[in-house]
Structure 1
């Protein structure tokens, strides 16, 4: 039996995933968490065969949570679930130690297959992710400017591109407005931009606004 921890801040998403998983006789959802910190508390106290982890959560996001999970137990397989396309977070997730990356719109048809493959010690990657990995391997020096941003800087970039204010970003990420401003300054410097309007246009040009 594959014992699974689901981490997602939306109850309706967790319920949908549980229905898919519980239809299979060889796997079972044994715990749920609605935040990164709640997930870490469970991981510190219990052992799981596999963790399903959402990328976009308020406060500590999925990538940060993934890195801390891997520090605690480098062997536990983690499958990242995201509403974002593979191009935005898949590479960051795999480099941080994820065993697979899946968009939520494909979860209903691919989730059980992915869980079985990952729990067997293998990786689950879509064709698009495989192409991204190959491109990254052979074109390390041809990366787009935003690919050099840290995970947190990239997250702030996306929130600014949606029109979120520094105050709102700080609240959603559970950090101070001053820290958000620091990230914003780094983003502007690294991308050679001047203001929020430039960030928004950059996100549109590189299709980062979803």
Structure 2
């Protein structure tokens, strides 16, 4: 690792990137490696940097972005650069995406409501190759591990929410359906064919035990999955 921690920021809101850059500027051991406003732009920067032998030490990656969401970008980054630490940023409640992020290989998950000291601490920790999780995320992770162990023992998992059965892509489609998006709109946003989205929709209805999009939306509201 270089003498200073090189950080790449990926967030689609310029004002957020400016705020993060100001936080980084106050830390003498952290410098800006670059910034991206979308997932494809972030991937292009990382790939070009890798080609020149200068990967960032840490990627700060927002979850909610146009074109490709942060979890999609995370999957690609970890497939191509498995040792690159990625710290996920989000405005969503921890229970929605923290465990999913960690399962996909994120080095940590930080809510944007965190203070600047916690962000600096998180960057330093993941740059050292360690995992950064807050107490609330640790609780979510412990619950997920406990649920998984119960299944392995054949004890059932009645307390686990049904949406936890969804794959990453199914969960993406699920939230968009619950938010009132049509199959065509979802296909365009996720760059999928309408038939593929319809297939995901059928799987989602089956796994969550609901009959239609209205019931799906009601389920999402009950589980507080539409908060941003």
TM-score clears 0.5: yes
Q: Which residue of 2 aligns with 1:64?
A: 72
Asked if residue 23 in structure 1 is aligned to residue 26 in structure 2, the reply is yes
Number of aligned residue pairs: 210
2:10 aligns to what? 7
Report the alpha carbon displacement of residue 107 of structure 1 after superposing the two structures with TM.
4.8
Distance in 2 between the 1:114 and 1:102 partners?
Answer: 8
Helix, strand or coil for the counterpart of 1:30? strand
How far residue 28 of structure 1 moved from its aligned partner, in angstroms, is 1.1
Per-residue deviation, 1:90 = 0.5
Larger radius of gyration: 2
Match of 1:132 in 2: 140
The equivalent of 1:191 in structure 2 is 208
Whether 1:120 aligns to 2:123 is no
What is the Cα-based RMSD across aligned positions, in Å? 1.4
Matches within 5 A, 1:102-113: 102-113=110-121
**Which secondary structure does the structure 1 equivalent of 2:114 belong to?**
helix
Shift of 1:105: 1.2
1:179 offset after TM fit, Å? 2.5
Query: Residue 44 of structure 2: which of 18, 21, 41 is its match?
Result: 41
Q: What is the TM-score normalised by the length of structure 2?
A: 0.87
Gaps of 5+ in 1: none
1:93 is matched with 101
Equivalent position SS for 1:112: helix
Determine the structure 2 residue equivalent to 1:162. 179
How far has the Cα of 1:151 moved from its partner? 0.9
Deviation of 1:109 after TM superposition, in Å, equals 4.2
CA deviations on 1:152-177 (whole Å, 9 max, x unpaired) are: 11111112222222233223223233
